[in-house]
Structure 1
Amino acid sequence: MHNIDDLKNGMYTGFIDDKIDSFEEYQPSLLINDESREIKVLTSIIEELSSCTEFYFSVAFITNSGVASLINTLKDLEERNIKGKIVTSQYQNFTQPQALKRLIQLSNVEVRIATKGNFHAKGYIFKKHEHYRVIIGSSNLTQNALSYNKEWNLKVSASGNGGTLKSILDEFNENFEAAEIVTEEWINVYKEIYQSERQKRASIKEQMEDIQAEMIKPNKMQGEALEALEELRLEKKDKALVISATGTGKTYLSAFDVKKFKPKRFLFIVHRENIARAARKSYKRILGNSIEMGVLSGNSKNFDEPYLFSTIQTLHKDDVLEKFKPDHFDYIVIDEVHRSGSKSYEKILNHFKPRFLLGMSATPERTDGYDIYKTFDYNIAYEIRLKRALQEDILSPFHYYGISEIEVDGVVLDDKTDFNKLVSDERVERIIEKAKFYGFDNGRVKGLVFCSSIKEAKDLSNKFNQRGYKTISLDGSSSEKEREEAIQRLEKNEQIEDYLDYIFTVDIFNEGVDIPSVNQIIMLRPTQSSIVFVQQLGRGLRKSSGKDYLVVIDFIGNYANNFLIPIALYGDKSYNKDNLRKLMNSGSSTIPGVSTINFDSITKDRIFKSIDNTNMATKKALVEEYKLLKYKLGKIPTMMDFILHGSRDPIAFIDYSKSYYNFIADIENMRDELSSEERSHLEFYSKELGGAKRIEDIIMLEMLIEHESFSISEVEEIIKENYDFYPSEQTIESCIRQLNCQFLKEKDRKKYKQINTLLIEGTDISIHEELKYKLNNKDFKDYLIDLLEYCRDKFNKAYSKENYNKGFLLYGKYSRKDVCKILNWKSDDSSTVYGYRIKYNTCPIFVTYHKKDDISESTKYEDGFINKHQFSWMTRSGLNLDSSEVREIKNYSSTGLRILLFVKKSDGEGGDFYYMGDVEPINYKQTTIKDNNGKEKNIVNINYKLNKEVEDKLYNYLIN
């Protein structure tokens, strides 16, 4: 139940004085799409829908893509019987009939359409029991308006008794009652009108595309890559590698560069004949018909044309290769160069000596020990991954739906599921049901289905055919001709008799296949590799005329590697569990453009469990990531190299080996670079500072290394200049204890041997002779500086003036030990803190939101959020309102006791807690709790007010 005073205060803050304290929930706010801040109108609408009791939309235009952005949320509302009304318009015949058809299939939604007048409203109304949230502005129900366009929308809260609110509801109801009811029959009539208008628009668009095709120019990405290639050649480099996501125009890019280079003889090497012919076609569009171009393959023996497009299978044969001298070609391009580790590619690379060699790949990473980067002298000319390609609008947007796999005989499919269950009729019906529900863009379905095995692909294809679909299965044994024919049939219009709805396959379409019109991808296999996932997703990301978006339906069972799904979708390769949890909570807000990522509650839970349960830092995984980056750079990478190249968070190496140096020394068999004492001291700095939880420690150590001595006031000024706050005297003292290893318990100090970092004399700090001596060892110094650069970078990325509060970052994660340190406690008392402790006029509270069942009854405290700005908490058992601890909390305002709330979802998250902010007690209640023997024990229930209400994403994650 909302409080009228809270609503008044929120309106006062928003419209009269922003310095007035109020809950954000009730403050009016401007909703826009801003990629740099990772905010979308869509996110706000989904959040409001998820917590409403009724909803009403009044929008001029609705498109299929707009419905696709919200369909998961609307389906969830249907299952919870949350009803809604939507009124739209036939104005300019822009609203898509397919969008209307999808909406009326939802039993909880009434849809009407205004067929007369210039209906141009854009408003979203959400009832929340006795009050309302209203969004009014410029956003229609289209994917661009909800996620990409420059839009202005005002969101306000209102009481049901408010005059303006009543006017809005009256206007909505008047428009709704005046509009026509949308039925299947109405849609069928409207569809003919819409198709006629669409054909007119398509004709104009085709004419424009034809004109543009004649004037084809490099896109932004290609332009940047061409400049980089030219720069490499100016530096006398004769090899280069371009890493570019599938569908971003690598072939055109190479053609543009060849046009600039003007080789007399040119060679393009691929692994499939159909790709060779497609590449030649692309080159002709760029270079024209004045240059003779031939195909060299099993079916085409062109040797004499100056520009050749050849398959590797033909070219590597001795009788073919010997026809060409090593310097025959001036310029050679190798497509899908990550295959170049094979003997056939090596043979060709060893034979030819062109003036320039260009390799192209979407995924050059290899784990078999072959160093592709070395082949190209580590000259990476340009790199564009999926996220950047989406940012630049080079690819088709996608709407991804992660949905729960079916239960067969009461068991959810997992990695060990019996084959018969994978092809059961029950599963087939489930796949078809979801494929129909999530649908596809306009026209007919043109889908790829990725399966776990050849037999599964064949059997599922047969069962689809039995149900009236036109499908085929392909695998590694399928001939080139069979594949080409299947692709042609998939791309045909429905008027052609032998068209295909779906191609079922295993892995053969992961790369190197161009099927632009694919509008639906179904994934029926566990994700074993984020690279393969992105490759398969990429099959549908090429833009195509008449295709607005791709639908991706991913059936997610109880698979061990489910954690790879967010890694692939969001492009975060840090393998940092907290990062992955945050991304899962972010929904679509962190995906560029209009693409969306949607999970149902069951699949989201499965992914979170996989994140919790998976050891992502096994030695094998760490070595693999290390070698991949080492190959890419051509040198031993630093910690900062991992950050700069978007790779694994290097803190994993510290967690595994106590320091990054230890890991390198083991892998590279280094023995004498550091003494045992230097190793121990590097371990201390790595383990105790590597989490980057307090910036003062890091800056003071940096200053010692750089200047050897400085004053406390200099530290204060540097921190003020960089972070806009002055550290307290107690914090400086705590940092000194920390850097000299005095904060730790005796047993922990011993394992690091004797640590002497600095000396303090009055207000001056100077380097200790022991550290000064160790810094003479260049290796020790380099690894230490690298560590500090990493720590500073990590803190800077998390820090903002708005989310920083006396040492803690709002929603940052901290262990009990971290909290003791940042609160400037004299020593590490984390082992005795448990749920909370009052010490040095501070009281940190630690709550595990979802507690284990096997803990004692007397510790099953009923702690939890009352709402986003209030938290109900229980003291330890055995206390009453007159207990000393309770009295200290009661007297917080007069004593200045600082009370801080830290929460984690479950023990599966490890030992770190989210800092939810400082809190104030607002009421107290004496109650009881049962012990293991069923005996009632006294306990005090305290309700706290949070200084800042919890953000929606984290709140929903914690409570669900």
Structure 2
Amino acid sequence: MEDFIQDLQDSLHKGFIDQQYNKSSRYIPELLINNASQNKNVLSTILEELDSCNSFLFSVAFITEGGLATLKSHLLDLDRKGIKGRILTSTFLHFNQPKVFKELMKLTNVEVKMTDIPGFHSKGYIFEHREFYSLIVGSSNLTAHALQVNHEWNVKLTSYENGEVINHFKRQFEDVWDEAHQLTDQWIENYEKNYTPIDFKKAEKVIELPTEYKVNSLKEALEIKPNKMQIAALEQIQAVRDAGNDKGLVISATGTGKTYLSAFDVRRFAPKKMLFIVHREQILHKALSDFQLITGGIDKDFGILSGSSKQTEAKYLFATIQTISKQQMLDQFDPEEFDYILIDEVHKAGAASYLRVIDYFNPEFLMGMTATPERTDDFNIFELFDYNIAYEIRLQEALEEDMLCPFHYFGVTDLEYNGELIDDATILSYLVTEERVNHILDKINYYGFSGERVRGLMFCSRKEEAIKLSEALNNKGLRTVSLTGDTSQEDRIHQVNRLENGSLDYIITVDIFNEGIDIPSINQVVMLRQTQSSIIFIQQLGRGLRKHDSKEFVTIIDFIGNYKNNYLIPIALSGDKSQNKDNIRRNTTETSYIKGVSTINFEEIAKKQIFKSINNSNLTAVKILKDAYMELKNRIGKVPYLYDFVTNHSIDPVVIADKFKNYYLFLLKMKEEVSNITPYENSVLTMLSLEILPGKRKHELILLDQLVRHCKISNRDYIHLLEESKCLVDQATLQSVHRILSLSFFSQNDKKKYGTVPIVEFKSENYSFNSKIKESLENNSYFKRLFEDVIKTGIEKSKKYDSGKSLTLYEKYSRKDSCKLLNWDKDESSTMYGYKPKHQTCPIFVTYHKNNEVEASVDYGDEFISPELFKWYTRSNRTLQSDEVQKIIHAENNSIDVHLFVKKDDDEGTGFYYMGEVKPDKDSVHQDKMADNKPVVHMNMVMEQPVESKLYNYIVNGLE
């Protein structure tokens, strides 16, 4: 307790008296704002406080369904832990809708009361922790926009339980609470009767034009202006044409208005005759009406070519591929007849029917449109359009531009059956048991939907499951229907209309609604199957992302069982294709890549299933890497280099290097025809790829880059370049760079692997390559290209590291990395084990969750006591008198810098998160015994700065 009070006093001193005060700042008063460019918002702090508190109090005037949705999975996890809270709100201005009070009633661990104080307008959040209280007070109500987007000011304060400020706030809360009314079903019913809704919606939030708005004349159509995204896209499409290209591909996320965009471009192009091709007839009429809205014109200018209509003389002809691709139909047209042809959902164009049409016609411009150009059948859509990507906007960008309906994704835990979570092998009868159906109902009811009534889509893994589940849910009072591949087109359309007009609650299907269906009013998407691919996942999620007046957001409920492919969920949501396990873990715990008011939430058990899947998966299997490689090669139309993987957000080049030693060997594995390089050149590429490419220290990269350009550089000029790049410049670091590039740092095995002789020589205050590399760079242009590619890619990767420091907080490092970056003479990683004091440094490496089979002699009790305190054990058979123990205890007096590295478990590979410098607390040093009775010493290490909460929680929480 004394430590806490001292830390609090130091924090308050820094916050209110002297900002230069350099003591503890964990509890410093903090301004909370929403700033998308800095990945900051008020919500993240509230969630951090919720996840670590013992109880909470909210006093908020306004609550919306979207705001409440951001907390629901966290509140459910708190409920499992027995943690409760209270929310005080009101009916001020009739802002709070009746439905949000119904949603509040679902929170079994939260008591809610209503105050009728006139002008009640408070916004305060109080969290009780073990030793202290946190208080957030300011301008943010419990609404999604206030917590994530709006310009808000909130102050976060920390107080000891006896502090006057926190007690003043608590008294205010209790005074109002005692006089307030309990929220009950009867109260909500009475409120609903007298409720007068206020329309707070703004017109500019709706992106697509209202469907009821009809345009009859060209003049009226020209008054309709493209939105911000469409203006940018139209300029890029025109640039493709201006460059002399007659084909262009538009890649645009579902719901972003591809049809309107194409209509605006057709209006600009002004073709004599246009052909628009779709793969399903029900899309034709909507596309035609959208075009007439934008382009204007009389009805007879617009025609349909399908099984039931043959209006081939129309200026704007809308055709199904099934009809237009028939040879007898094609023969009725001149190949030059259409000067502008559009193909919707063009990722299907590898089919013979599409290729027949494309080969037959010769338009002035051919445009293809798709949300998912990536294919699993090896057909290259990009090649079909001469690699001209006219415009591309994916899910994250579209959300940021407010082009899509916001979503709240909930990764929820599927049902356990006989102690096991549902998995790939679960038989059908278990999928539709009474228990699982009730479990599904509990989740869809708890997480809810936006709007007056549910309009839901459920995706199952099997046709029989969809049929049986529909029957079971209907027996529970829902109105559902199952649609499968056996269902006729007419019946599908009929059931979609029933869903939209309120006659159905859910359509339950397998994969037939992944694409090509437009139901803008869908407000809940339920996924009851394992994720087979990121593409299908986004297609299914996208069914609910069209904006519609009846909803403010769409709820995505994903039932996560014991599936081996669970790791695809964070990959799909983040769009990160790096195949880097650390990136996937971070994208599961840190979801700030989703912009706007959308959120991604995983229940704790579901999150552990994903971590388990990540750990067990082989993301570097040759087939996975080959598929990603071919996708990139298809996209850019040539054999890619490492830098292409970075710029196209594909595989992390380090993943390739770790698997194949260098990119040349990877290309050979891909069976590419490549120029020859010598065994020595191969060794040099291996050294650069394994040691320099990761970019963890920029110094070597800067030197190598200069040497490739100029053959020689002086030590003075090199230091100047380092200073320009804001790199740490000291003699120890420069000597370390010498040792790396001369290979003297490495073990004998590594030296042999890397070519034995120094890569860079340092003579007479000048750096230069050795003679063999000089010769290779001069005589082998292919080797030079590969060499430069590694350097260029490494420089790009180095941007995430702080060049002004030896180590970057919370990045991952191996034992070998620490030897290198702490400027040791040699790589001593093989004998470092848990720690090693050397060269006035002592890196400590801790695997937090030990393997269950670990021997008693190494089963240490290392643990975080708090984010700023780590209980650390020496190796066994050490006493207080041991030399190494004394060095660490008195590290500060001996000017030894102690660095802490921690990884969650052995499944995380050789990398450890860097937690920063630590200082031993001498008063906590204690000699103890291990389970095998051998002596051991443990002590508390005080963190230089507290561990960030998301990483702290990720490491501390095990997978049990």
- For the criterion TM > 0.5, the same-fold answer is yes
Residue equivalent to 1:193: 194
* Corresponding position of 1:603: 606
Partner of 1:367, secondary structure, is coil
Corresponding residue SS for 2:537: helix
1:249 aligned residue: 257
Report the residue type matching 1:683 in the other structure.
Answer: T
Q: 1:411 aligns with which of 411, 420, 424?
A: 420
Asked if structure 2 preserves the Cα contact closer than 8 Å seen for 1:858 and 1:929, the reply is no
- Aligned partner of 1:283 among 278, 281, 291: 291
Question: How far apart in 2 are the matches of 1:303 and 1:329?
Answer: 11
Where structure 1 has 5 or more consecutive residues not aligned to the other structure, the ranges are 494-498
CA 562–211 in structure 1, closer or farther in 2 if over 3 Å, else same: closer
SS at match of 1:643: helix
Could you tell me which residue of structure 2 aligns to residue 235 of structure 1? 243
Deviates further, 904-913 or 293-302 = 293-302
State the AA in 2 paired with 1:952: S
* CA contact 1:681–1:755 (8 Å) conserved in 2: no
Relative distance call for 1:658 and 1:262 in structure 2 (3 A) is same
Distance of 1:556 and 1:105 partners within structure 2: 22
Q: What SS class does the counterpart of residue 369 from structure 1 fall into? A: coil
Q: Distance in 2 between the 1:422 and 1:11 partners?
A: 56
Q: Is the Cα–Cα contact under 8 Å of residues 643 and 792 in structure 2 kept in the other structure?
A: yes
Alignment match, 1:712: 715
Taking the aligned partners of 2:427 and 2:844, their CA distance within structure 1 comes to 48
SS of equivalent to 2:451: coil
User: Which of 948, 952, 955 in structure 2 is aligned with 1:955?
Assistant: 952
Q: Displacement, 1:208?
A: 11
Q: Which amino acid aligns with 2:679?
A: S
| Paired AA for residue 917 in structure 1 | G
Counterpart position of 2:762: 760
CA distance in 2, matches of 1:477, 1:309: 27
8 Å CA contact retained: 1:248, 1:389 = yes
| 1:586 alignment counterpart | 590
2:450 corresponding residue in structure 1: 441
Task: Provide the aligned C-alpha RMSD in A.
Answer: 2.0
Task: Identify which range, 712-721 or 839-848, moves more after superposition.
Answer: 712-721
Question: Separation in 2 of the partners of 1:860 and 1:407?
Answer: 32
- Residue 106 of structure 1 is matched in structure 2 by 107
Amino acid at match of 2:602: F
Query: Secondary structure at the residue paired with 1:320?
Result: helix
- Provide closer, same or farther for how the CA distance between residues 859 and 202 of structure 1 changes in structure 2, counting only shifts above 3 A: closer
- Partners of 2:403 and 2:103 lie apart in 1 by 28
Aligned mates of 1:341, 1:211 — CA distance in 2? 36
Q: Indicate conservation of the 8 Å contact 1:716/1:726, yes or no.
A: no
Matches within 5 A, 1:80-159: 80-159=81-160
After superposition, the C-alpha distances for 1:746-782 in whole angstroms (9 at most, x for unaligned) are 1222233333322212432222211111111111111
Q: Match for 1:940 among 937, 941, 955?
A: 937
Structure 2 CA distance, aligned partners of 1:381 and 1:623?
26
- Contact 2:77-2:604 at 8 Å conserved across structures: no
User: For 1:860-871, what aligned pairs fall within 5 Å after superposition?
Assistant: 860-871=859-870
Give the structure 2 partner of residue 339 of structure 1.
348
Q: Distance in 2 between matches of 1:476 and 1:211?
A: 33
| 1:833 aligns to 2:832 (yes or no) | yes
Q: Counterparts of 1:204 and 1:26 in 2: how far apart (Å)?
A: 41
User: Are residue 507 (structure 1) and residue 511 (structure 2) matched?
Assistant: yes
Counterpart of 1:197 in 2: which secondary structure? coil
Contact 1:880 1:926 in 2 (8 A): no
Contact 2:396-2:593 at 8 Å conserved across structures: no
In 2, Cα distance between equivalents of 1:30 and 1:886: 42
Instruction: Assess if the C-alpha contact under 8 Å between 2:205 and 2:402 holds in 1.
Output: no
TM-superposed CA distance for 1:131, in Å, is 2.1
What letter matches 2:197 in structure 1? Answer: E
C-alpha separation between the residues in 2 aligned to 1:895 and 1:204? Answer: 64
Q: Would you say the 8 A contact 2:407–2:554 is kept in 1? A: yes
SS of the aligned residue for 2:328 comes to helix
> Residue 903 of structure 2 aligns with which residue?
904
Aligned pairs, number? 945
Q: 2:774 aligns with which of 736, 758, 772?
A: 772
Partner of 2:468 in structure 1?
Answer: 459
Q: Report deviation, 1:213.
A: 8.2
Between the aligned partners of 2:585 and 2:612, the Cα distance in structure 1 is 10
- 1:401–1:598 Cα contact (<8 Å) kept: yes
| Residue in structure 2 matched with residue 795 of structure 1 by the alignment | 798
Question: Counterpart in 1 of 2:219?
Answer: none
Contact 2:514 2:540 in 1 (8 A): yes
Distance 2:470 2:900 in 1: 55
Q: Is the 8 A contact 1:870 1:943 kept in 2?
A: yes
Q: Structure 1 residues 575-584 or 745-754, which shifts more? A: 745-754
Q: TM-score if structure 2 supplies the norm length?
A: 0.96
Q: Give 2:305's aligned amino acid.
A: L
Q: Does 1:488 align with 2:489?
A: no
Question: 1:630 Cα deviation (Å)?
Answer: 1.0
Instruction: String of CA shifts for 1:622-668, please: whole Å, max 9, x gaps.
Output: 11111111111111112111111111212222122211122123324
Give a deviation string over 1:508-538, Cα, whole Å, max 9, x none: 1111211000000110100010010000000
> Which shifted more, 142-151 or 389-398?
142-151
Superposed displacement of residue 212, structure 1 = 8.5
Residue matched to 2:232: 224
1:475 maps to which of 475, 484, 496: 484
Residue 220 (structure 2) aligns with: none
3-state secondary structure, aligned to 1:894: coil
| SS in structure 2 at match of 1:808 | coil
Shift of 1:205: 10
Q: What secondary structure is seen at the aligned counterpart in 2 of 1:56?
A: strand
Please point out which of 384, 408, 411 is paired with 1:399: 408
CA contact (8 A) 2:696 2:801 kept: no
Which amino acid in 2 is paired with 1:941? H
Indicate the larger mover: 149-158 or 731-740: 731-740
Distance 1:731 1:569, change over 3 A: same
Contact 2:26 / 2:945 at 8 angstroms: preserved in 1?
no
Quote the residue 1:686 is aligned against. Answer: 689
**Partner SS, residue 82 of structure 2:** coil
Aligned equivalents of 1:64 and 1:899: distance in 2? 48
What is the one-letter code of the residue matched to 1:926? H
Q: Distance in 1 between matches of 2:550 and 2:856?
A: 62
The one-letter code of the counterpart of 1:276 is: L
Work out the CA distance in 2 between the residues paired with 1:142 and 1:466.
36
TM-aligned CA deviation for residue 87 of structure 1: 1.3
Could you tell me the TM-score, scaled by structure 1's length? 0.96
Alpha-carbon contact 2:34-2:150 (below 8 Å) kept = yes
What displacement does 1:211 show?
10
Match of 1:568 in 2: 572
**Unmatched runs of 5 consecutive residues or more in structure 2:** 216-222
Answer yes or no: is the 8 Å Cα contact 1:90–1:116 preserved in 2. no
Shift of 1:104: 2.5
Asked if structure 2 preserves the Cα contact closer than 8 Å seen for 1:252 and 1:283, the reply is: yes
Q: Matched residues in 2 for 1:260 and 1:200: separation?
A: 36
Question: Residues 671 and 40 of structure 1: is their aligned pair in 2 closer, same or farther, counting only changes over 3 Å?
Answer: closer
Q: Quick one: distance in 2 between partners of 1:107 and 1:379? A: 55
Residue 259 (structure 1) shift = 0.6
Give the AA of the match of 2:194. I
Give the secondary structure class of the aligned counterpart of 1:283. Answer: helix
Secondary structure at the counterpart of residue 26 of structure 2:
helix
After superposition, the C-alpha distances for 1:177-223 in whole angstroms (9 at most, x for unaligned) are 233222111111212333x4258989999999689987642222111
Name the residue aligned to 1:824.
823
Q: Which amino acid aligns with 2:353?
A: S
Tell me the distance in 2 between the aligned counterparts of 1:198 and 1:486: 33
Counterpart in the other structure of 2:382: 373
Pairing partner for 2:325 from 316, 319, 339: 316
1:619 positional shift? 1.1
In the other structure, the counterpart of 1:496 is none
Deviates more, 1:59-68 or 1:366-375: 366-375
Alpha-carbon contact 1:758-1:766 (below 8 Å) kept: yes
Equivalent position amino acid for 2:767 in 1: I
